[in-house]
Structure 1
Amino acid sequence: MQSTARGEGFSTKTFLRLIFTLALPISLQYLLTCSMAVIDMLMIGQLHDAAVAAVGIANQFVFISFVVQFGIHSGIAIFTAQYWGKGDLSRIHQLSGLGILAGFAIGAVFAAAALFFPSVVISLFSSDAEVVGLGARYLRIVGLAFLPFSATFSFMTNMRSMGFAIAPLISSFAAVLVNIALNYCLIFGNFGFPALGVTGAAIGTCTAKLVETGLLTSIIYLKPYPLAASLKKMLGFDLAFVRQIIATCWPVFLNEFFWVTGVSMYKLVYARMGTQSIAAVNIVSTFEEFLFIPFFGIFHAGSILIGNSIGAKRYERAFAYGKFILLSQLPMALVAGLLLILSRHLILGFYNISTEAYGNAYYLMLTTGLIFWTKTTNFTTVVSVFRGGGDTKFGFFMDLSAVWCIGVPMAFTGAFVLSWPVYGVMALIALEEIFKLIIGLPRFFSKKWIRNLVAD
């Protein structure tokens, strides 16, 4: 690590051009992905509290499956970014094959739970019989997409790590169009279709995900992109290579698994506080995801550029990239949080919910807006920097201790010992973000996270 960023030709102008070339399509794709959840929630929100709670809880299980898949594929993408910087395409093809196999294994487990035990899954979060019935109906249909969408995750993350972000964007755009059209027809019974309510929303979401998988796969192989490879090439890895990947990827997988199960525990606590509480949380969570849209692109574009730089042995450039992202996201996050706070009445005016649910959501938006900058800063260190730099174990232990030693105990204490309202419980949970700031920022400036995983 003797070279300097200046010696490696780093400039703010060049970095901004590179990051926005990647960040813009990634953010747009995330916008489209979030749009499907928002469209479902807005349309279902025209029905009643139970429908909002049911779809929100079912989508929490979908979210868990996606985050676990993300843990697998983002771990593999660390190597993809570094191998792309190194120029080793054969290894990238093998990484793609490994990712698809691992994704299928995880997808099969979640699909089985959704198809055969949906009521059990929903009842973990709610004891309301109407919510359980509606949620199980939704989850059983959406579960059909879990297995094929595993391949989409692999293609999507590897394409981004190689700098090809447009193809995933196109496939996501098509999926959103399909989802909007089917939701409009099947939830309310427009254009002569039956009014299926929650079931209609599930059909629309499942169909859209299947369309996204088929279209992205077709684009990759018909163009063809460098990721396109035969089955033989994708399965040409040896045991030593698999062990090398697992050694780095297991912390990423466990990081996402324990983080999402911790977040699910929060949702379980909220749901046990009442249908109006979980309905409010589901509404606010959906719009918080929208706030993350521009940051999501920056996080992952930064991770890709940091990984590419380390693979090319430009270590000081990698640090300069991380520092620039860390400093530039903060004012953006403060503004985003303020916008959420100021737009509370406008947003909640679209929902046909009870007075209690409205009040909970109103103060939840205030809490979310105030703590938003801490979340974006911690995402920058964990996702862009530590993960992009190959320092996966530190990020894992930081998230594990924050969620399970601080966040989860605070959730149960606030709800069931102190009997605080749901927005007070959320404020207590936010202490985990403060903890991660305290230990994450010193790690960044130490540069110990810079690790070349593909060096000869």
Structure 2
Amino acid sequence: MLAWPIFIEIFLQTLLGTVDTIMVSRISDDAVAVVGISNQLFGALTTLFTTLAGGAGILIAQRLGSGRSEEARTIAIMGVTSSSILGFGVSLLMFLYSDPTARLLHISEELLPLAHVYLTYVGGGLFLVGMTVALGSAIRNTGNTRGPMYTGVAVNIIHIALNYLLIFGVLGLPELGLAGIAVSNMISRLLGVFILLYLFIRSFERTVRLRDFRIFNRRLFGEIVRISWPLGLNSSSWVLSQLVIYSFMAILGAKELAARTYLNTLESFCFTLGYAVAMAGQIQLAHLFGARQMQEVYQGAYRTLYIGLVIVGANVLLLFVFGRTLLGFFTEDEAIISIGVSLLALNLLLQPCKMLNMAMGNSLNAIGDTRYTMYVSICSMSLIGVGCSYFLGISAGWGLTGIYCCMIADEATRGLLVLRRWRKRKVLSEAERRMDEETPGLAVKRGRALFVES
């Protein structure tokens, strides 16, 4: 019940990315390369102002699970406010320094005019992404996963329609090309923020007022920071490693970069439903952890993993069988298609390893064990993901195949380490010991009832 609306929401976001890629491919393969590497940068920047929202979301679910709804409300407000402030700062930097950023990404000289347009205007609207993620995270962790889903449906329909109208100049509108995507992004994201804000202010027992966004509770904010900063470093390390790897692909050439962008779009369908299950599992486990149902928490992580592996396995097999045909929808360049097809077999290993990370990593995050996943991620992604990718992909001349092998090794290493951590039950055992020293009160019963109701 929690997972399917998350899946629909993420699926629509993925579909939007696919439609964007298809429409941009009608402009040129060069435009696709610019969009691909720019979106990796945007993903890295987004983690900077969604970090607090992610930590706040876990604490919201735990507080609701233990029956402390007023604290959950305060945490949600501070999470949204903090993420929004950081978002505005990032957007301003992107708007003012788009050209130096493009050069840092090793974007070739012939692509710089396109990169200027996309980085300046899409990057300048990133604050709307920060607000959307923060509001959506708070709403979902109350148990309402349908609201963000319906919002996603409306936003994606509007965005696709505006893309078509503005990129190609339909119905007498100016033909803006790549700039049309920037305008479309801004309008559709702004609409999404208004809808989510309406849902957010009604998500708690006491309605959120405009003046409430001035609330600041030092103790609760300290809890948000303590659980968030490892999450932020974890997410930032992953996205930044992907950004660096994309820059390695840019060194290989525009065709390799375009092939990876197309294949990345297709790969996203393989783990979308699995990721939805992992996120739903995190919400459920955080509620149960707050309600002190430790055995149910422990077993629930494995249930999440098994379901996710079955779904991801089925999806990646379909991609392996029909990959060449699907790549043909994006480009007619046979060289690009051949590069993409050569990586499909490796994808059979990559995606299940990602699912292992998502299921077990999110389970550790749900119970507040965020530092361990951070340490594992930083070490593995730096040494294996980035370091080995450069050595095999660039220095040794293996190209994209070498980079993919290193990505698989990185995901597998992290997945096995977080699985080992979960099996040791360190945090759960400590919580169980504290339970033995306390007398279960009414809040636990209320927490369990709240979770069942939500």
Normalising to structure 2: TM-score of the pair? Answer: 0.90
SS in 2 for 1:138: helix
Partner of 1:319: 298
1:255-307 deviation per Cα after TM superposition (whole angstroms, max 9, x unaligned): 11112111111111111111111111111111222222211211111001100
SS in 1 for 2:331: coil
Change (3 A) 1:308 1:71: same
**1:390 to 2:368 alignment:** yes
Q: Distance in 2 between matches of 1:57 and 1:263?
A: 10
SS in 2 for 1:163: coil
1:54·1:135 contact (CA, 8 Å) conserved in 2? Answer: yes
Kindly tell me the number of residue pairs found equivalent between the two proteins. Answer: 434
Change (3 A) 1:82 1:292: same
SS in 1 for 2:426: coil
Partner of 2:384: 406
Partner of 1:16: none
Partner of 1:368: 347
Change (3 A) 1:424 1:224: closer
Partner of 1:377: 356
Q: Distance in 2 between matches of 1:438 and 1:234?
A: 41
1:31-62 deviation per Cα after TM superposition (whole angstroms, max 9, x unaligned): 11222211110111122210110111222222
1:108 corresponds, among 77, 88, 94, to: 88
SS in 2 for 1:196: coil
Aligned-residue offset at 1:102: 2.1
1:48·1:352 contact (CA, 8 Å) conserved in 2? Answer: no
2:66·2:291 contact (CA, 8 Å) conserved in 1? Answer: yes
1:389-408 deviation per Cα after TM superposition (whole angstroms, max 9, x unaligned): 11111111111111012111
Q: Percent identity?
A: 23
Partner of 1:8: none
**1:171 to 2:151 alignment:** yes
Partner of 1:266: 245
Partner of 2:396: 418
User: Aligned letter for 1:147?
Assistant: F
1:96·1:234 contact (CA, 8 Å) conserved in 2? Answer: no
Partner of 1:203: 183
Aligned-residue offset at 1:224: 6.3
Aligned-residue offset at 1:227: 7.4
> What pairs up with 1:30-49 in 2 under 5 angstroms?
30-49=10-29
Q: Distance in 2 between matches of 1:116 and 1:25?
A: 37
Partner of 1:27: 7
Change (3 A) 1:340 1:409: same
> What pairs up with 1:339-378 in 2 under 5 angstroms?
339-378=318-357
Q: Distance in 2 between matches of 1:314 and 1:438?
A: 25
User: Aligned letter for 1:362?
Assistant: V
Change (3 A) 1:346 1:179: same
SS in 2 for 1:87: coil
Partner of 1:219: 199
1:309·1:318 contact (CA, 8 Å) conserved in 2? Answer: yes
1:251·1:393 contact (CA, 8 Å) conserved in 2? Answer: yes
Aligned-residue offset at 1:119: 1.8
Further displaced range: 428-437 or 165-174: 428-437
Partner of 1:329: 308
Change (3 A) 1:371 1:83: same
Aligned-residue offset at 1:452: 5.6
1:55·1:198 contact (CA, 8 Å) conserved in 2? Answer: no
SS in 2 for 1:301: helix
Q: Distance in 2 between matches of 1:190 and 1:411?
A: 43
2:324·2:341 contact (CA, 8 Å) conserved in 1? Answer: yes
Further displaced range: 317-326 or 59-68: 59-68
User: Aligned letter for 2:325?
Assistant: L
> What pairs up with 1:54-453 in 2 under 5 angstroms?
54-221=34-201, 226=205, 228-383=207-362, 385-450=363-428
Unaligned runs of 5+ in 1: 1-20
Q: Distance in 1 between matches of 2:343 and 2:373?
A: 28
Unaligned runs of 5+ in 2: 439-454
2:83·2:134 contact (CA, 8 Å) conserved in 1? Answer: yes
Q: Distance in 2 between matches of 1:62 and 1:436?
A: 24
Q: Distance in 2 between matches of 1:303 and 1:52?
A: 34
Change (3 A) 1:345 1:149: closer
2:281·2:300 contact (CA, 8 Å) conserved in 1? Answer: yes
